[in-house]
Amino acid sequence: MKLYGALSSPFVARCWLAVTAKGGSVDLVEYPDGITSAGYRALNPMSKIPVLVDGDVVIPESAVICEYLDAVLPGPPLLPGAAAARARVRLLCRIADLYLFPSAIDLLVAPVGGDAAVIEPAMASTVAALGHLEHFLDDIGFAYGTSITLADCTLHGGVALALMVLGNHGMKNRFDGRPKLAAWWGAIRQDPVLKPALERIKEVVVAYERQRGFAAPGAQADSR
Ligand SMILES: N[C@@H](CCC(=O)N[C@@H](CS)C(=O)NCC(=O)O)C(=O)O
């Protein structure tokens, strides 16, 4: 299986974490001609990373890729079997996809000290999305239940991005009033299964931030 993309993308990292949690492997590569090329567009007309290619099967969109990986790879299930539990995991992923990622990405592309009419609503939406996660997170180390699920794989990149961009735009105490989120963030980064992959992701993200000229690469998303 080939996963096109780079770990600097939280959407690619999400898939990489799912593969790691399954104990599987994929070939993670950048598309040789770039994601705007005709060849890549034939795989994914949305022209975004990641794309998974498994023989004749071509799948864009990280949420869909993760569910496919969970279904085809051996290893522990990343979606619970019981309907209510499954719904909760999918809900956490959906909050990240619909609310957290879009507003955090708005903040990522907004220059620090730039247009308040753009930054203030994006800050408010990102903070609100963290609040939604706080409401639905479990408080026992994983996002839901007693083992890694797709929610942990999804939320890691979303929360890391949110912490970083909120910090860049001057927000301190990003965990105030969010004890479950703080506990999850502390615990998931120490998970023995995910830790080596998270360290690799961090190296790539820090290199990316350095290249983009961030003042303290890696520091914002790490700090509590
Ligand atoms: N909803 C998509 C989002 C993917 C996405 O936005 N990827 C970014 C990288 S983080 C991308 O490919 N951006 C290139 C572009 O927009 O031109 C998913 O979950 O896979």
The residue contributing the CA closest to ligand 1 atom 16 is: 48
- Residue ranges of domains in the chain, CATH in brackets: 2-72 (3.40.30.10), 83-201 (1.20.1050.10)
Q: Confirm or reject: Cβ of 154 under 6 Å from ligand 1.
A: no
The residue contributing the CA closest to ligand 1 atom 12 is: 48
Per-residue pLDDT, 213:
79
Per-residue pLDDT, 88:
98
| Rg for the chain, CA atoms, rounded | 17
Q: Confirm or reject: Cβ of 48 under 6 Å from ligand 1.
A: yes
Per-residue pLDDT, 220:
64
Task: Please tell me the total number of residues recorded for the chain in this structure.
Answer: 224
Q: Confirm or reject: Cβ of 94 under 6 Å from ligand 1.
A: no
- Ligand 1 centroid to Cα of residue 61, in Å, is 8
Residue recorded with tokens 């830790």: 195
Per-residue pLDDT, 215:
64
Q: What is d(CA 191, CA 45) in angstroms, rounded to the nearest whole number?
A: 36
Cβ count within 10 A of residue 164 = 25
Under a CB-based contact definition with an 8 Å cutoff, are residues 81 and 93 in contact?
Answer: no
Which pLDDT tens digits describe the chain residue by residue (224 residues)? 999 999 999 999 999 999 999 999 999 999 999 999 999 999 999 999 999 999 999 999 999 999 999 999 999 999 999 999 999 999 999 999 999 999 999 999 999 999 999 999 999 999 999 999 999 999 888 999 999 999 999 999 999 999 999 999 999 989 999 999 999 999 999 999 999 999 999 999 999 888 887 766 666 666 54
Residues 59-68: b if buried by 16+ CB within 10 A, e if exposed: bbbbbebbbb
Per-residue pLDDT, 223:
57
Chain-centre distance for alpha carbon 45: 22
- Ligand 1 centroid to Cα of residue 98, in Å, is 13
Tens of pLDDT along 92-118?
A: 999 999 999 999 999 999 999 999 999
The residue contributing the CA closest to ligand 1 atom 6 is: 48
The residue contributing the CA closest to ligand 1 atom 1 is: 61
Record the pTM: 0.96
